[in-house]
Every structure is written in structure tokens, then in C-alpha cells.
Structure 1
Amino acid sequence: MKNKVLTALSLVFCTTLLFSCGGASENTASTDEVSTETPSTETPSSSSLKINEIVASAVDGGADWIELYALADIPDLSIYSIVDDNAEHVAQTLPAISLNTGQFIVIQAIDEEDTPPSDAYYVTFKLGSDDAVTLYENAVQIDQLDWQDGDAQQGYSFGLYLDGTGTARTMLPTPGAANTQLSDEVLVTDTITNNDAELRINEIVAKASDDGYDWIELYAAGDNAVFLGDYLVSDEDGELFALPDITLAAGTFYRVYATTDEVENLATVGFKLGSSDQVSLFLAEDLIDQLSWKNGEALIGYSYGRYPDGSDALATLIPSPAMANSLATHGPLVINELVASHVAEGNDWFELYNNSVNPILLSDYQIIDSSNDIEPVTLPEIILAAGAFVVIYAVDEDPGSYYVPFKLGKDDELSLIKNGETVDYIDWQASDVSAGYSYGLTTDGGWAKNTLEPSLGSSNVLPSVYNKAVVESIYFTIDNTEWQDLLDNAIDEEYHPTSVTYKGITLDSVAIRTKGNSSLSAVARSTSERYSFNIDVNEYVSGQKLLGMKKFVLNNMYNDPSYMREYIAYELLEEMGVATPEHAYVNVYVNDELKGLYLLVEFVNEEFIAKHFSNTQGDLYKPDGTGSDLQWISDDFSRYSGVELKTNEDSSDNGAFINFVSAMEFGDALSVIDQDSVLRYMAVSVALSNLDSYHGSLAHNYYIYEQDGVFSMLPWDLNESFGSFSMGCNRADIRELYIDEPTDGALADKPLIAKVFADSDNLNTYHAYLNQLIDGPLTSTNFAARIAEIDKLIGEHVANDPTAFYSYSQYQQNQHSTVSRFYGLTSFMSYRVANMNQQLSGEIASSGNGNGFCRN
């Protein structure tokens, strides 16, 4: 008889040892040392223990695991040890317990840094998508289970069918129970989203306000009718259900109900939708579309889905089955702001906001945090006027004001309840609610959330993370050995653990590494230690943020005696309406030692996209290398090895990018380009003779972001603007860069520019943007005033910079005249503006023979 998984047993790893953390009992594992002798690779003909099943990509953030199966009674498992295929890992001994014939034991596979589970056995190595687990008996290899990419995808396991003896195959996970062959109704599917899907999951309701069934709306988004019977759907659990045998006309909707009930006269699939869940759509084994949502996005009375219909952009909606989707207003009563880490040990509080035009009786509502030991608390019997705020303290004792008898945790949640249903919800992590800050809606009554400046009882205020009025200081505390290793191996660009303190917030588990291309190599070859840095705030703590930042950059002013080139370039781009990273000057300290004046720059990632685009679901790319010129190579994305996908890495098939470069080569290029973003970007880049960009020889230092197949251009890394970069350019004076053929190399070889500039209306708009710059921020008076203002801000900090690449006198000189090969800023701009005016008026040529400025 097969027993259930030994879930009561506990396995903990100490050095190279597996043992129980539950005290002495029949479940206590062995405390014998792991043998240090080299295991033999000789495999006996038979053994009593087999590697039966593994999960290498658990759902919901769960742990990987390994299941072992006993073919015979085993008095003491500690004669066995296991290890993955990482050569640096040591085989880890199994617990000193017995296992009877037909019994299973399940062992979690976690990182050594992870918190050990208190109720499960574990080993300190994780399982990869292409990996192997080897089992040893008295240091002799007796079994191995080896799998490759695709064998053990998320939601599936890999192991033996039948238990202990069969052939290894992909299965549904059955930890501690008999392995099950996949049924005909369950397919092993890939994780590729089809960019050109004609059928989309358009809208879901996970909690109907009329106590009806959950539902899923499908939309025929293409130009053709779609036969639904060819498709399958699943929720997060992964079991697949067929759709009805009907044909859906192009541009129309179809609703299917999600319920496990037997229902007549309604199309149904056999699962319900959770408050946090995912629906996937398959065509045979191909994942066609996917829609996921989190707590608070699909509450009762709301739906969640695509806006506009069939697009990638997602939002909370007004339920509209079989009709066009409509955006929903948050409310009427919302949890607007909260403080869970008050300074000076003050009281926690939360703020409610009436986001409607009618008064609200608060006592109709209840509220509760994540506590399980208290009931929801009814709010005070007061009337909250439209557009008004009320503050409720969360304390143990009556503070003499409105309050609830519970405190807010550092990792917690609040649920607002009416008539037994959650009508609003907010959750947070410790880094969201650092002392001195609040957390809540970025705009009163909106949907987006962030860390805030406390504004008790008044409109919410975002913190000034990138403060341009003063030079802030940022502090890193790092182990001296780690810091020295970072410096000694700077070229490796590997992360090292550090703590960071900024604007009164300290986070202990943060990652720092060097960054750069030629600048990194140049500093590494020199005696300087003034590297640029990437800071990853959530590398070690998932979801951790510093004032809303998951990542940020510290740039070292390489090749810029003025300290102003990148700062001014970003300012001009921002003023021209380009989605631009925020930026500010900071003094950087490492272990209380000043390392210099740096430029703090916002990272271009999901948080950046959410600030600038209503559609946050698109593909973000950072091109640098093969394919970064955006010329057509083939329909195989791997051939574009220098184009790196930065978002949707696990779901995108890169089809939008392939369509993009294909359309520029063979089709309607303007239909896949956000032309205005290119024109605005190019106006600034060309005005600053910035060839260290897409239109230069390296075709790098930019991002492209896709929204429903249309790509926008985003700026990055502008320290060599103002004519500082001329690698490979044969022309004597880069200040005379052609405005209409501003490329190093043939204009046609930079199709993103060539296709946009080929349209006469676009070229006229581009010229208008150049004139806007020339007549505005680049006039001699305005530009000189900007230089003086920045100098007033940073001058004393430059003078005190202990690692500066240039002297303070060179800093002052370069504001106006040349230092080394670097043009003075005001003299450069005066010359460049005069030259552009001549090109715009036709006095001198604005383009050449098509070979680009540097080759004409």
C-alpha cells in the first residue's frame, strides 16, 4: 500500500548536513556528516531508492522539489545523498529515517540564502530548467534523473511513469502520491505568446456583484472569423478546457462562464476565477494569450481586461459582457494612504477618500488587515462628504480620535468591506512603508500606488526622489572584502551585496555592480576607481523598492569635464515631450568615504513604463550589438543577438519586434513606428551632435518600447552628447552634423530614421522641433542661464570631488571652452545653432549623397 507524502517530517540543512528542526522524534533526520570522498559514477544494476519526480519551476513562487520512491524497505535513508549537476555543489545526506516499500519522501530544493522551511525537508540547491539530480548510496551513484528545457515547465513535473520503474516524462505534479500520466485533456504547452493572435482574452469578472458566475470574455481581434472549438483555456492551476464549437465573427465578443457547477444553457469551463489568478488561451500546444491579475484589480463590481478592446493595455473596468470595454472609476470609497512605520514611534494610520460626487455613510463599511484573530471592524458612524478625506488611526488604545483596534504591519494588507464583500484592497511590503513615508495612491482615488510623502487628511504627494533643487547624498555600506572584489573584478559586472541609505531610508539587502562599455574598460585600465554603478534594489529581496525604485543607475561623468552633458541632454528631451529617465546629482559615499559627485538616473524598466505609457504590457528592448541598427536579418529572433528583451521575458515570442523590422524592410514602416517619439528624440540628439546613439556608428544607447505592435524610441546614456563622440567619423567638425542625414554610415542602414524622415510631413515636423529648440532653450541667453544655474547647484561639490576625472578649473573652463577634445558647452551650442539655422534655411546642405554625414 502506498502511503501519503511524509509532510510531518522536517528537513533542515546545516553546513553539509540534513536534519530535523522539530526536535527529537521519530521524524528526526540524521546528523551524520556528509562524506567528503569523491562519489563513484558506477551505477549498480538495482537499488532500493529511485528519483521518482521533480518540479523545477513551481507555481505561485513555491519551492522546487524532488520526490524519492522506495522500491524496498529502507531502514536508514542516511546512507543516501543527492546533488544537482552543478560541479560546485556537494552531495547532501538524506535524513536518518526509515522508508517502507512504496513510500515517498519529498524534499524541497531551495537557495542557501532562503529562509529554511519549518515543516519540510530541503536541500540547498535549486533546480534549473535544464538540470539533473543524482542519487548516491554510500558515495556510489545509483540513480540519476536528467531533464532538458521544456521537460519541466511551470505547472508541470518530470519523472517516472510508472513509479520507480517507468520511463521519464512530463507529468502533472503529484508530490508524495502516485505519478500520473497526462490525460488526453491535458496538453504540455509551451510558454510562447503569439503576437498576432486573432483571439484574445478581453475581459474577466472574478466576483460578480449579482452573486452570479465568474466569466471570461473572448474577442476576435483580427480580420478573420475564429472557430472557438480549436482553442483551450485554463486558469492558474493549468488544467485545460475546450471552448464551444462556435464561430466568432471578426470584431465580436463571446462570454464563457467559469464555474465548476453543472449549468444548462450556458457555455462554461470547469474552474472558478480567484481574486488573484490567471487565464491562459491555447491553440493546440501554443500559448496564444494570457491575462493575469492581482488582488485589488478585479474586486466585486469590477472587471479586469484590455482597454481598448483587443489591445495589450490592461486596466480595471466596468463589467461590459459582449460589449466594448470601459474604464472604471475607483471607489466610491477608497483606501487612499497609510502609514505603517511612523517616525518617533507615532501611531499608524490610514486615510479614506470619497472618490465620488455623493456623501458616504462610513458605518456601512468595515475594515480589516491580514490578522486572523480579530473580526472586521465597523467604521465610525459619520458622513464623509464628496471629495473629502478621513483619517483612522490603527492603534492598540483609544488615541482620542477615530481608530481601529489593530496596528499595521510592515508587510500587511487592508481590505475595505461592504455587505460582506471586499470593495477595496491595498497591500504593501516593508520597503514601501519606510519610516517617515506613507504608501498609497499616487493620485487621490486613482489606481496606481507608490511610496508617498505623508499627507494626512489632504491630497497625496509623491516624494522628490530625483531632487534637482539640492545635491543629495547616497550612502552604501558594504563589506570591505566585497568592495575590493568589486573593484578588482570590475569588468565582470557582477552584483555584490550592500546596504543603501537614501533620503532617510536604509535597506540592508541591495545589489551593486559596475556598469558601462568603453567607459568601464577605460576606468579598469586606469588607476581610478570611479566606476559607474547599477543598483538593483530587489535582486535579493523580491519586490523590494527604494522610494518606488527597483533599480537605478549612478553615472560617473566619464568623458565630461563639465559634469553637465548628460544632465542637460535629459532636460532637453524631457522639455521636448520625450519619455525620459528622471535624474539628479548626488554625492556617493561608500563606507562613509566620499567617492564623488554622480548623476542618479532612473532605470528604464516596468516602473518607468508605467509612469509614461497607459499600456504597460508591451515589450521593452535595449539594443546594443548585432541587430541594434534595426535592419532586417531574418524572422529568427536569436539572430538579433544584440537586441535584449527587458520585459515579458517569459511570455513574449518577440513577434512584435520581428514584425517591426520586417515592416521597415518589406512593408508599411510607418504603421509600426511611433513617429512623433522618433522625431522629438532625433531633434534633441541631432541638435547635440550625439553620435553615441542609434544614428552613430555603434547604434546603441537607446531603448525601444512596443505598444500593440507600434514602437517608441527612448533615450539612454547621454554623457557623450555635445559632440564628444566621433568614433569612426571622418568629418573634421561634428558640430556641422547634417540635420536630415545625421548618421555615421548610410542613412538607409538606420531604417528607423530613414523611414520616418522619408515622409515629407514628418520631416517638416522634425524641422519645427529643431526650430522650437533653437528659438527656446538653445538660444545663447537661455542656454548660458541654464549652465549658470547648474553651476550654482553643483560647483562646490565638483570642487570637493576626490575622484574627479578632471580638475575643478577644467570643469569651469569646459562650461564655455574646449578642454582636451571636449567642446565647451556654450561655444558648442553657439556654433551648432548657427549651423542648424543655415541648414534649415537652405544656405548650406542638410544632407549628402545618402552615405551619412561621416562618409560624405
Structure 2
Amino acid sequence: MPGGFGNRNGTPKAGIALSPDDVEKYPDAPFYDQTIIRTLFLTFENDDWEEELEDFRYTDVKVAATLVVDGKTYPNVGVKFRGNSSYMMVSRGSKRSFGIEMDMADSKQNLGGYENLNLLNSNGDASLMRAALSGEIEGQYLPMAKVNWVRVVVNGESWGLYVNMQQQDKQFLKEQFDTKKGSRWKVPGNPNSRGSLNDMGEDIAAYREVYELKSKEDDEAWASLIQLCKTLDAVKPDEVESKLGKILDIDGALRFLALENVLVNSDGYWTRASDYMIYLDPDGMFHILPYDTNEVLIDESAGFGGGFGGGGFGGGGGFGGGGGFPGGGFGGGFGAGGTTLDPLVVAERADRPLASRLLAVPELRTRYLQYVKEIAEKWLDPEVLGPMISKYDKLINAEIEKDTRKLESYENYRKQVDLDPAGDGILGFAAKRRAFLLEHAAIKALQTEKQPATE
């Protein structure tokens, strides 16, 4: 299935020819080092590799290729196209995201300690840095996947810069939780908003349709997830900490909700009840974690810029405009919230029990709002966010300018990384968002209450 609406940057052109001898090597640098740009050389047996990857897109089959990185050859890695809208909205010849399985043929083969690579086309983000920015900010509050950038060369031709996002797999757990054990679920994109942790009864099959178990199949893990959903559905405000607190990292959930609201994650729990991760640790505690955070701090007037969220087809409103949803967006899913998204937008929505049950408790509501204030006040400050944008811009600007297969124009990239707080880029969006939140009645009512300390 070739898919794709085309390239918003016009017809893609072939990139320059590159060989491993042409690029700098970094054999001693960590794989997700954000101060360098590594080059990954993929060589497929056939020239029609795009068509072959398309044929197997919705199967478990991966296409074999040889990978060369830092002068070292990795034979028989498995390659797939990955993504949903980032695949469907991009046509053949334009940059599409890759998933690479290092250990497809050799169980001991890895790259820098990592068995699964995610090379993302950053569809909807002309800056190619929103995932890195959100990772740096959200990583102050929650376990986050590592991210940097790599140059990708396919069959000797440069395909330009890709976002290199760590897989949230066992290695991620080891780094963040000091264990590879436990159960992991991904909540994939779902316009029907079914992944909100609502009670769907006792039948595991109903949950399997919504939640993708990424670890080994385990009926006990499913039973635990069902119990979490049932507890969220039935718990009373005065029982939240005593009952729910036994099985859910409540403070982590509050941080999660605050982060995706402040940063206006248009693919998040608040809007589509999807694109997040659930982790059940070996002690029986659930953790709610960010996943797929490249659609944050996006100007919702950017039209196509946000894919199916974050602006979508209908300009500022996406599908359905405001839909009666405070701050914009659409209750069922499509659409973004913009700079005026209410911090309590889902506080009373029964179909978002993770938020409505926790925020029904006055003490937890206050703690959540304190997190909102802290994140907005500190991390959306142009004096803090501006240098972060500048740091990444200095690293990737030249690569983006010469990238012949990028999905957005170089002019749009420069607009996004503009350091004018009154402008239309990331910083301008953040400055407006910060001003709105700090003037919000619920935030101002906090007065001088003690702020939650980040770890």
C-alpha cells in the first residue's frame, strides 16, 4: 500500500551519494548522544526496497538489510516502515519512518546496547525537535525515551535527517526502573477515544482490542489492568489514595497529566485517550508514561502540520473544530487545544477516569495544578526554552537545509525555531501558553502554596 498525500515540500529529489568513508565516525559516543549526528547506512538487496517495505507494512515480515554504523557492519537486520498517519500521509519517494530490528537473525546483535531502533520522519513537526524538547522537559518529571538525530543513507543515497527515538522496551525499563521485568502496554492512536482506562467489563478480549501488550502474553497482567480500570471506575474521592494508591503511581499520573496539558500534546490522553504507555512493575504498581511526544507546542493554525491531530485537515480546529471542548479540540479525538487549553479540561469528564477520579480529590487537584504552574513557569519561559531550541538548531540546521527529502520546507523550519517570543514558532506558542496558564484562575488561586519538587 503506497499510501500518502504527497510531500508538502514539493516533489522530493534524490539525495547526494554517500559512503561510510565520507562521514565522521563516533564509535565511542553513546547511541543517543545529542551532541553528534551519526550516519546509518542501510543497504537492501533490491533497488525497489520502498515497494517491498510497502508490501509488508501491515504484516509481521521485516525486510532484511545490511546496516553499517561507525565503520561496523551489522548483517541481516530487519527493516519495516512504521507509524500510522506518519506513514499514510506520506507518499513513496518522501521520507517515511523506519523500524529496525537489530537481532532479527542474530539474537545477540545490537547497536550500542539497543536491539530496536525507531527512525522517525517527524511528520507534522517541521522543526524536527519537538520530540527532543518534550523529552528534555518531561524527563525532569517522568521516565522518558532517549532521543537524538541520525543521518540515514539508503543504498548509497542520503535520505537526510531522522529523529532517532528510543524504543520503550526491556532496555528502557532497565535504564529507568532498574529491571527488565514487568508488563508493558502501548495505547495506540485511536480516534474513538477508547484507551482511557475505562471499565469495559471482565472479558480480556475487549481490552486486547484497545491496549497492545508489548511484553509476553500474561493473563495475570491483563487481570491487573482490568482491576485498575474497575478501581478507577468505582473509587470514591475519599478512597482514591487508600485504594487506587495501592496499584497506581498517583503522583506519576498527576505529572503525566500536567505535562501533556501544559505542552498541549495533541496525541495525548486528554484528547484521544491514546498514544501513551502503561507499565506494570514487578511489585504490582502501574505507571503511566508518555509515548510519541512529537506533537507538542504546535500552532493549531498550521493546517496539515499536526497530521490527524495538532491542527489536522481543518486548520485550527482539526476534525470538528472546538466541538464544545473548552480550549478547542474535539471530545472524541481529532483536534488540538491551542495556547488556551484549560488545565482542567478533563477534570470532570467521566470518560477520562484517570483525570476525573484523581482531580476529584482536593489535595490531588491542588498538587496537579502546582505541577502545571511549575512546568509552565519554568520550562515555557523563553529564557529557558529559547536556549534549548538554539542548542538543537545549531546541531541540525545545516542538515535540514540540504535534506532533499524533508517533508516541510526549510523556510518553515526556520519559522518554527524562530527565537522571537512574539513569533509564530515553538517559542511563540510556548510564551502564549505560559501567559495563559499563569493567569488562569485555578493557577492564580494557588497563591504561595509550596510547589512540588521535581526529582
| TM bucket normalised to smaller | 0.7 to 0.9
1:704 corresponds to which residue? 278
2:434 corresponds to which residue? 833
Shift of residue 841 of structure 1? 5.5
1:632 corresponds to which residue? 199
Q: Whole-Å Cα distance in 1 between the matches of residues 271 and 252 of structure 2?
A: 18
Q: Does 1:621 align with 2:185?
A: yes
Q: Whole-Å Cα distance in 1 between the matches of residues 268 and 56 of structure 2?
A: 24
Q: Does 1:612 align with 2:176?
A: yes
Distance 1:549 1:758, change over 3 A: same
2:149 corresponds to which residue? 585
Pairing partner for 2:231 from 644, 656, 663: 663
Shift of residue 568 of structure 1? 0.7
RMSD: 2.6
Q: Secondary structure at the match of 1:736?
A: coil
Q: Greater Rg, structure 1 or structure 2?
A: 1
Q: Does 1:520 align with 2:121?
A: no
2:161–2:399 CA contact under 8 A, matched in 1:
yes
**1:5-36 CA distance string (max 9 Å, x none):** xxxxxxxxxxxxxxxxxxxxxxxxxxxxxxxx
Distance 1:565 1:543, change over 3 A: same
Q: Does 1:473 align with 2:39?
A: yes
Q: Whole-Å Cα distance in 2 between the matches of residues 485 and 664 of structure 1?
A: 46
TM-score normalised by L of structure 2: 0.77
Q: Whole-Å Cα distance in 1 between the matches of residues 441 and 68 of structure 2?
A: 49
2:115 corresponds to which residue? 550
Greater mean deviation of Cα atoms: 731-740 or 551-560: 731-740
Shift of residue 654 of structure 1? 1.5
Distance 1:607 1:811, change over 3 A: same
**Structure 1: tracts of 5 or more residues without a match:** 1-435, 438-452, 454-462, 845-856
Q: How many residues are matched?
A: 377
Report % sequence identity. 24
**1:717-763 CA distance string (max 9 Å, x none):** 122211441544515562111112258xx622111222222222222
Distance 1:502 1:797, change over 3 A: same
Distance 1:683 1:717, change over 3 A: same
Distance 1:516 1:761, change over 3 A: same
Q: Whole-Å Cα distance in 1 between the matches of residues 182 and 442 of structure 2?
A: 40
1:693–1:702 CA contact under 8 A, matched in 2:
yes
Q: Secondary structure at the match of 2:271?
A: coil
Q: Whole-Å Cα distance in 1 between the matches of residues 166 and 366 of structure 2?
A: 32
**Structure 2: tracts of 5 or more residues without a match:** 1-25, 236-242, 299-305, 312-317, 329-336, 446-455
2:341 corresponds to which residue? 737
Shift of residue 658 of structure 1? 1.3
1:64-143 → structure 2 map (5 Å cutoff)? none
Shift of residue 549 of structure 1? 0.6
Higher helix share: 2
Q: Whole-Å Cα distance in 2 between the matches of residues 693 and 672 of structure 1?
A: 22
Q: Secondary structure at the match of 1:704?
A: strand
2:53–2:63 CA contact under 8 A, matched in 1:
no
Pairing partner for 1:529 from 94, 102, 109: 94
1:601 corresponds to which residue? 165
1:497–1:511 CA contact under 8 A, matched in 2:
yes
Shift of residue 651 of structure 1? 6.8
Q: Whole-Å Cα distance in 2 between the matches of residues 678 and 843 of structure 1?
A: 23
Distance 1:780 1:507, change over 3 A: same
The one-letter code of the counterpart of 1:714 is: L
Distance 1:670 1:754, change over 3 A: farther
Q: Does 1:815 align with 2:417?
A: yes
TM-score normalised by L of structure 1: 0.42
The one-letter code of the counterpart of 2:260 is: S
1:773 corresponds to which residue? 375
Shift of residue 580 of structure 1? 0.4
Higher strand share: 1
Q: Whole-Å Cα distance in 2 between the matches of residues 559 and 679 of structure 1?
A: 27
Distance 1:788 1:817, change over 3 A: closer
Distance 1:742 1:734, change over 3 A: farther
**1:194-236 CA distance string (max 9 Å, x none):** xxxxxxxxxxxxxxxxxxxxxxxxxxxxxxxxxxxxxxxxxxx
Shift of residue 840 of structure 1? 5.3
Q: Whole-Å Cα distance in 1 between the matches of residues 105 and 267 of structure 2?
A: 33
Pairing partner for 1:692 from 267, 278, 283: 267
Q: Does 1:748 align with 2:315?
A: no
The one-letter code of the counterpart of 1:502 is: V
The one-letter code of the counterpart of 1:656 is: S
Q: Does 1:569 align with 2:170?
A: no
Q: Whole-Å Cα distance in 1 between the matches of residues 140 and 352 of structure 2?
A: 25
2:419–2:427 CA contact under 8 A, matched in 1:
yes
Shift of residue 563 of structure 1? 1.5
Q: Secondary structure at the match of 1:575?
A: coil
1:491–1:520 CA contact under 8 A, matched in 2:
no
